[in-house]
Amino acid sequence: MVLNVAVIGTGKMGRNHIRTYFEMDEANLIAISDIVEDTGKELAEKFNCKFYKDYNKMFEKEKIDIVSVCVPTFLHSKIAKDVINQGINTLIEKPITKNVEEGEEIIKLAKEKGVKLTVGHIERFNPAVQKLKKIIDEGKLGTITSVLARRVGVFPPQIKDANVVIDLAVHDIDIINYLLGKGPDKVYSGLGKALIEKRHDYANIFLKYNGTNAFIEVNWITPIKIRQLSVTGTKGYAELNYMTQELVFYESFYDKIYDDFGDFIISFGEPKITEIKIKKEEPLKLELKHFIDCVENNKDPVVSGEQALEALRISEKALKDDGCCL
């Protein structure tokens, strides 16, 4: 069975959704919608689908199973509600909405209408993240003591309405929650506006997870793009590169002994270094395939509205200067 899909929004992520749906055997890209008519018509011609400047007319004329909402964050709530009210299964690009209150309304409406809802936390579908999750769940890292995430680079001109926490840190907040299988007990942050006057463009966020500490660095001021995550446990250390989908595992070897003076020490040997084999795949393609499968076979999406809302809630806490406690 092939499902009819449509995309609202033809910005950077919207174009990626359009291209990916077009390339998939599981999807029939039938329409796209955007208020920017020239770009929309050009993309519609390129990807052999219809264009609608008014998405409500698209709803009237097309039979649609799934819509990807890829508009600026401040429009997520309104447009997602319009899609859900049509009884159409909805994928909203992250974050779910601009604030928690709007997110709660979206989740409630989707349940009332009986439609599938997911949010585009794309890193969940990164094959390296999936492998790291497996390593953690199998106990190969032992007890996790710390997680360090770096997501930095230059300012993205297409981001018109979000700050660096909502745009970037929300990714790593969701991933750390996912890897640890729980949310933080406390949230602290240091924020700043280095190059942009009206929005935070750098942030350092510290999360406490009842025995595990997590530190997230995000900014739009570093001249090179870095997307890395490292996890330290009592049995080893893992280092992940989101962009290259590389994952390296350092297995610890140590003995608890007493020295000549009777003092207790830990003696470390050379770690065993393993470059984990990863089948590299495009996370967005995996994400869209997964959601199509959920709709077709009545499954629950990996990323629920509630999980996306929790990542947004923590992001809002982090936006309070000097930190706060959950």
In the chain, list all ranges with CATH 3.30.360.10: 124-283+311-325
- DSSP secondary structure of 44-87: HHHTT-EEESSHHHHHHH---SEEEE-S-GGGHHHHHHHHHHTT
Q: Are 242 and 128 in contact (CB under 8 A)?
A: yes
**Residue 322 reports pLDDT greater than 60:** no
More confident residue, 162 or 326: 162
Tens of pLDDT, residues 18-50: 999 999 999 999 999 999 999 999 999 999 999
More confident residue, 227 or 158: 227
More confident residue, 180 or 1: 180
The pair of structure tokens assigned to 321 is 């200067």
Give the whole-angstrom CA distance, residue 40 versus residue 145: 48
Phi, psi of 182 (to 5 degrees): -165, 170
Residue of 193, 243, 202 lying closest to 220 (CA atoms): 202
CATH of domain 124-283+311-325: 3.30.360.10
Residue of 5, 269, 22, 206 lying closest to 116 (CA atoms): 5
pLDDT of residue 244: 97
The pair of structure tokens assigned to 193 is 């506006």
Phi, psi of 162 (to 5 degrees): -115, 155
Tens of pLDDT, residues 92-110: 999 999 999 999 999 999 9
Contacts of 53 (CB under 8 A, 6+ apart): 33, 34, 35, 37, 40
Q: How many other CB atoms sit within 10 Å of the CB of residue 107?
A: 20
Contacts of 304 (CB under 8 A, 6+ apart): 117, 118
Tens of pLDDT, residues 223-279: 999 999 999 999 999 999 999 999 999 998 666 665 555 555 666 677 789 999 999
The pair of structure tokens assigned to 233 is 């446990």
What single DSSP character describes residue 113? H
Confidence of residue 311 (pLDDT cuts 50, 70, 90): very high
**Residue 324 reports pLDDT greater than 60:** no
In the chain, list all ranges with CATH 3.40.50.720: 3-122+285-294
Average pLDDT, the chain: 93
pLDDT of residue 198: 84
pLDDT of residue 62: 97
The pair of structure tokens assigned to 83 is 């899609």
Q: Interhelix angle for 305-318 vs 170-180, to 10°? A: 120
**Residue 4 reports pLDDT greater than 60:** yes
The pair of structure tokens assigned to 56 is 């409500």
Phi, psi of 278 (to 5 degrees): -125, 130
The pair of structure tokens assigned to 212 is 């595990």
Q: Are 94 and 171 in contact (CB under 8 A)?
A: yes
Give the whole-angstrom CA distance, residue 191 versus residue 322: 8
Tens of pLDDT, residues 45-77: 999 999 999 999 999 999 999 999 999 999 999
Q: Kindly state the average pLDDT of the residues 162-175.
A: 94
CATH of domain 3-122+285-294: 3.40.50.720
H or E stretch including 244? none
Confidence of residue 157 (pLDDT cuts 50, 70, 90): confident
